[in-house]
Structure 1
Amino acid sequence: MLPWSSPLAGRIENDVIHSELLRDNPLGDPHERPVYVYLPPGYDDSDRRYPVVYVIQGYTGHVTMWFNRRPFARPYPEMADDVFAEGDTPPAILVYVDAWTAFGGSQFVDSPATGRYHSYLCDEVVPWVDARYRTLASPAHRAISGKSSGGYGAMITPMLRPDLFGALATHAGDALFDVCYPSDFPKAARILRDTYEGDYRKFFADVAQRVHGTRDSDMELMEIYGYAAAYSGNEDGTVSLPFDDTGALVPEVWARWLRWDPVRMAAQEEHATTLRDLKAIWIDAGRGDEYYLDLGATAFHRAVAAAGAAADRVHFELFEGRHGNIDYRYPMALKWLCERIAP
């Protein structure tokens, strides 16, 4: 496998969205965000309109990372291009969205502690794309796809905005919060106690004056805080942690997290109705996922079935693998989605 890029059958345009919703966000993160739009082969040769798949990233992901090239692997934009270059998959426009924050991610939700990233995606990015490209601008022809935190965003976004999205693909998405998150809380509490006198402010002061990642615990602490900022951010911009100094759950804060759990959301009638109406739902995860997101995928699949989604509209699969290096799964889901959202 060649270690450098290969030519695409389609093409990618990169641009910048000037977001009013992200302007003056609590973290001072840029409100001008890069966006990459893939146009399939033949786009420039006709006036045809196309379905659209929005592609979102996991925690710590930013949009240019899609083009990172690992040894013996190809980046997803090239693999996605192959799906359409082969000619047997209905063509679609792909939109690679950036929702990075200074905490490493937004979980694609609106939070007073990070910013309005859900609204940014739905109310700014989608209209921006529809205004500039020949899209089929309806939920029946619009899907969202992602892995890990991106898989989480892919699960909740159609439930929250069925007026925009009619299909989804989630790869090892955050779900079944009771299982995937709490085991990390005692670890974080211990690190905070032993290194930062139990104070997250001292962690941020420390990491601000050195290279992030030079302590093994940096990512563990940042990730937990990033989730808390999304799920339990307060109106004054502060963040409530879901655990105390012993690592035990703080019930009132944990309850706020659970309201964002896709499994619990799917059981609510308004969201169950949406899931029943979606054209396509792809759910997968590696059997050895370190964060137990295979169990989350199983629980979400059961919730989707309980909601009444037709079996022929749902693909569920546990495969041999862990949480990382599962990029090869994305083109499978892309092909399956495009076959179902095509006109």
Structure 2
Amino acid sequence: MPPWTEDLEGELHEHVVSSRALRGNPLGDPHERPLWVYTPPGYGDGAAYPTIYVIQGYCGTISMWRNRTPFRRTFPELVDALFARGDVAPALVVYVDAWTGYGGSQFLDSPAIGKYHTYLCEDVVAWVDDHYRTVAHRDGRAITGKSSGGYGAMVTAMLRPDLFGAFATHAGDALFEASYASSFPLLARRLRDDFGGSYDAFLRYFRDAEVPLLHELDELLIETYGYAAAYSSDEDGTVHVPFDPATGSLVPDVWERWLAWDPVRMAAGHADALRSMRGIWIDAGRQDEYYLDHGASAFHRALRDVDVPADRIHFELFDGTHARIEYRYPMAIEWLTGRLTRENR
């Protein structure tokens, strides 16, 4: 692979979208956001195209899609190579920016972070439909992501089946007792030893540090606080973490608020939405460090429990960890595009 940018057969268009939903958000984050739209070879033929929305994992920024790992293509290059083959149903691919001052939002509306679910579903989708030739119907849209992006894909499809008719989740956050709770004692130890058992003291350090995130646990500490801001914040913006920072023990009422947002547990209450999907792709590495292989298996079982037809599900555990799995994303995109309507082409 070349060590520099490859020329694309399609085109990657860079835009800025002004979001009404994010204007005046609690963290003071920008309401104007970058948005990339990939158009495949042949887009100038005048037809309408299905759209795949791509959302990122926690602490992801849109510019990181261009990060190059030695001897591997970037994700935009992988997408272009997929559609340049000529044997894959063409689609637009939309790269969404959802960075926040906490590193992420879980793509939910939160009084502590902002209305990122509304931003994605109302502002971004409407902008793309207004500016590109899309199949502007839920059966012409899919959403996909990894990790927190995979979580966002699951939850967004469950909450807005009127907008999205298919989704893919790569090692998406699920089965919270396995993927989240196992880290709480370790985080409490860092808070106890260095911040007097106070999350507020850590947040002051995080905001004031000249070089933040120097300790190996600091990124996970701010990430977990961001999850709490998404899952368990009050209407006045107060954030409640699900464990006692001084001891590591669970706080039952807060933990229940987190569990209510676990896709595994949400599935039963959104059975109709899940059964309406044209396709659901679930995968994860068998050696995932955050046990999201168990989350993928549990979510797959939850789908079968609510009678999602087996022929609409692709479920796979592969040899791999949580990292360096970008080669999986085009597989899911190819599978999804084959399930989205192309009646207007």
TM-score w.r.t. the length of structure 1 is: 0.98
* Alpha-carbon distance in structure 1 between the residues aligned to 2:95 and 2:221: 27
Q: Is the 8 A contact 1:90 1:342 kept in 2?
A: no
* Structure 1 residue 226 displacement after superposition: 1.1
Q: Is the 8 A contact 1:52 1:142 kept in 2?
A: yes
Matching residue of 1:290: 289
Larger mean Cα displacement after TM superposition, 251-260 or 207-216: 207-216
* Structure 1 residue 190 displacement after superposition: 1.0
SS in 1 for 2:339: helix
TM-score w.r.t. the length of structure 2 is: 0.97
Matching residue of 2:51: 52
* Structure 1 residue 201 displacement after superposition: 2.0
SS in 1 for 2:181: coil
Matching residue of 1:10: 10
Report the residue type matching 1:160 in the other structure. L
RMSD: 0.9
Q: Is the 8 A contact 1:174 1:180 kept in 2?
A: yes
**1:51-200 correspondence runs (5 A):** 51-200=50-199
* Structure 1 residue 216 displacement after superposition: 2.1
**CA distances 1:58-108 after superposition (whole Å, capped 9, x unpaired):** 000011111111112111111011111000011000100011111111100
* Alpha-carbon distance in structure 2 between the residues aligned to 1:201 and 1:178: 24
* Alpha-carbon distance in structure 2 between the residues aligned to 1:211 and 1:19: 30
Report the residue type matching 1:6 in the other structure. E
* Alpha-carbon distance in structure 2 between the residues aligned to 1:141 and 1:232: 33
SS in 2 for 1:89: coil
* Alpha-carbon distance in structure 2 between the residues aligned to 1:56 and 1:212: 25
**Does residue 1:39 correspond to 2:39, yes or no?**
yes
SS in 1 for 2:305: helix
**CA distances 1:205-229 after superposition (whole Å, capped 9, x unpaired):** 2222221222222112111111111
Matching residue of 2:315: 316
Q: Is the 8 A contact 1:110 1:119 kept in 2?
A: yes
**1:137-286 correspondence runs (5 A):** 137-207=136-206, 208-244=208-244, 245-268=246-269, 271-286=270-285
* Alpha-carbon distance in structure 2 between the residues aligned to 1:158 and 1:327: 22
* Structure 1 residue 2 displacement after superposition: 1.1
* Structure 1 residue 277 displacement after superposition: 1.1
Matching residue of 2:25: 25
* Alpha-carbon distance in structure 1 between the residues aligned to 2:209 and 2:308: 51
* Structure 1 residue 320 displacement after superposition: 0.2
* Alpha-carbon distance in structure 2 between the residues aligned to 1:210 and 1:235: 32
Larger mean Cα displacement after TM superposition, 194-203 or 121-130: 194-203
**CA distances 1:17-51 after superposition (whole Å, capped 9, x unpaired):** 1111101111111111000000111112x210000
Q: Is the 8 A contact 1:29 1:102 kept in 2?
A: yes
**CA distances 1:126-164 after superposition (whole Å, capped 9, x unpaired):** 001000000000111100000000000010101100100
* Structure 1 residue 306 displacement after superposition: 1.4
SS in 1 for 2:261: coil
* Alpha-carbon distance in structure 2 between the residues aligned to 1:233 and 1:55: 26
Structure 1 outlier segments of 4+, above 4 Å: none
* Alpha-carbon distance in structure 1 between the residues aligned to 2:330 and 2:128: 22
Structure 1 gaps, min length 5:
none
SS in 2 for 1:315: strand
* Structure 1 residue 248 displacement after superposition: 1.0
* Alpha-carbon distance in structure 1 between the residues aligned to 2:187 and 2:276: 40
SS in 2 for 1:324: coil
* Alpha-carbon distance in structure 2 between the residues aligned to 1:204 and 1:246: 18
